[in-house]
């Protein structure tokens, strides 16, 4: 984005920068954010631009100000909504994230019957990924695809969630006749703690989604998406 002071959207650049700070987990509730002067210096923008971004974030309840003291992170609420979580595109658009995906593992996987979406003992290919925003892990996901679909996937499909979904819908088209989803909150596993860089006491939210086609009682794609609660508890996800 051009950093011209007369740009009508320059304040959005500052707003997204602040949101990224919050999502990184480095600034918990009631912690003090960088000063206006520091933001001006770091982002090479004017005071009016910084204040416009802060004013919008304050109006949304994401931050609050203490007269003569500074700007602080708004209080989080454990009663977060699932709507933005169940639609990753919604979440990404709201926050203005540019996620970088890293493939953690690709292997053969046999279903254990631990979910209502699929029978026990079926063979899939599993793709595990972590998505990062500015170096901070924000999403961990598992994807199960049929072996015959896996061999046709490009590395771009595998690395990118939108491409993976597009491949499935493009291949099966009108034969897709059902999408099932369930959402839960739970304690993280040790693997999730390590990959998402969270503590064992931080709750996570998990969505599992199955995509089905006509004539098959088992899904052609199963996705399990995991997000730490400190992200979904941000005020911008609660309004």
Q: Residue 21: which CATH number? A: 1.10.10.10
Q: Which of 4-8, 35-39, 95-99 has the lowest mean pLDDT?
A: 4-8
Of 233 and 83, which is predicted with more confidence? 233
Residue 25 lies in a domain: yes
Enclosing domain of residue 111: 83-237
55 and 155 belong to one structural domain: no
Domain CATH for 227? 3.40.1410.10
What is the pLDDT averaged over residues 203-209? 88
Residue 199 lies in a domain: yes
Residue 26 lies in a domain: yes
Residue 28 lies in a domain: yes
140 and 56 belong to one structural domain: no
Element (H, E) at 221: strand 221-228
50 and 166 belong to one structural domain: no
Question: If you write DSSP's letter for every residue of 64-126 in order, what string do you get?
Answer: EEETTTEEEEPPP-S---SHHHH-HHHHHHHHT---EEEEEEEEEEE--S-STTS-TT-EEEE
Domain limit, last residue, from 73, 108, 127: 73
121 and 197 belong to one structural domain: yes
Please state the domain count of the chain: 2
Q: How many CB atoms lie within 10 A of CB 167?
A: 20
Is residue 1 pLDDT above 70, yes or no?
A: no
pLDDT for 83? 42
Calpha distance 19→85 (Å, rounded): 16
Instruction: Write down the pTM of the prediction.
Output: 0.67
Domain limit, last residue, from 50, 73, 96: 73
Work out the end-to-end distance of the chain between its first and last CA atoms, rounded to an integer number of angstroms.
27
167 and 190 belong to one structural domain: yes
pLDDT for 89? 47
Is residue 82 pLDDT above 60, yes or no?
A: no
User: Which of 216, 211, 204, 173 lies closest to 85 in space, CA to CA?
Assistant: 204
Residue 214 lies in a domain: yes
pLDDT band of residue 95 (cuts 50, 70, 90) is low
User: Which of 136, 138, 131, 118 lies closest to 237 in space, CA to CA?
Assistant: 138
Is residue 124 pLDDT above 90, yes or no?
A: yes
Residue 197 lies in a domain: yes
110 and 65 belong to one structural domain: no
Question: By three-state DSSP, how is residue 25 classified?
Answer: coil
pLDDT band of residue 97 (cuts 50, 70, 90) is low
């Amino acid at each position: 984005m051009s950093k011209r002071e007369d740009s009508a959207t320059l304040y959005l650049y500052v707003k997204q920068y602040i949101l990224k700070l919050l999502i990184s987990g480095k600034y918990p509730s009631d912690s003090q954010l960088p000063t206006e002067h520091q933001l001006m210096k770091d982002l090479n923008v004017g005071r009016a631009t910084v204040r416009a971004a802060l004013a919008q974030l304050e109006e949304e309840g994401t931050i609050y100000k203490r007269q003569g003291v500074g700007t602080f992170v708004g209080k989080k609420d454990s009663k977060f909504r699932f709507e933005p979580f169940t639609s990753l595109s919604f979440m990404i658009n709201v926050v203005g994230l540019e996620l970088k995906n890293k493939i953690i593992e690709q292997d053969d996987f046999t279903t254990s019957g631990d979910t209502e979406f699929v029978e026990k003992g079926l063979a899939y290919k599993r793709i595990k990924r972590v998505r990062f925003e500015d170096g901070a892990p924000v999403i961990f996901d598992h994807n199960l695809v049929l072996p015959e679909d896996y061999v046709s996937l490009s590395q771009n499909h595998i690395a990118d969630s939108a491409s993976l979904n597009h491949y499935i819908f493009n291949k099966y088209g009108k034969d897709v006749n059902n999408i099932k989803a369930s959402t839960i909150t739970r304690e993280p596993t040790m693997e999730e703690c390590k990959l998402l860089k969270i503590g064992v006491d931080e709750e996570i939210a998990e969505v599992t989604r199955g995509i089905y086609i006509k004539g098959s009682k088992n899904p052609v794609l199963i996705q399990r998406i995991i997000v730490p609660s400190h992200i979904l508890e941000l005020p911008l996800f609660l309004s």
